[in-house]
Amino acid sequence: MKFVTAIIKPYKLNEVREALTSIGVQGVTVTEVKGFGRQKGHTEIYRGAEYVIEFLPKIKIEAAIPSDLLEQVVAAIKKAAQTGQIGDGKIFVFDLEQVMRIRTGETGSDAI
């Protein structure tokens, strides 16, 4: 089993969700996050004052998936979230040791 975390542009969330459900991903967790990468921040002007906004708003998507789905999932997120501009985000992949569905007590890939 794998655990995929993707940081994407907020307005790409719907496209990424559709891409993931269409290839059979059963569920994701979404968090509104802030951070910076190579894009750094951007400047906002309020009357006479210019502020560098250092932490930009992003969306973090987390999904637990069977290992055989990994390549498709990574490709789907990449395709849906990519604009080609700086700030498109990143995908992190981890090995997943254990999963349990709390309601039934099922474990392993049955629980995903």
Of 51 and 94, nearer to other proteins (C-beta) is: 51
Point out which span in 3-11, 41-49, 66-74, 102-110 binds other proteins (CB under 8 A): 41-49
What is the crossing angle of helices 13-22 and 70-81, to 10°? 150
Say how far apart CA 29 and CA 25 lie, in whole Å: 12
From the list 48, 95, 98, 104, which residue makes contact with other proteins (rule: CB under 8 A)?
48
Point out which span in 11-19, 22-30, 48-56, 94-102 binds other proteins (CB under 8 A): 48-56
Task: For residue 1, give the 3-state DSSP assignment.
Answer: coil
Say how far apart CA 92 and CA 84 lie, in whole Å: 19
How far apart are the two ends of the chain, measured CA to CA in Å? Answer: 9
Of 51 and 92, nearer to other proteins (C-beta) is: 51
Does 53 sit near other proteins (CB under 8 A)?
yes
Site residues for other proteins per CB under 8 A: 44-49, 51-54
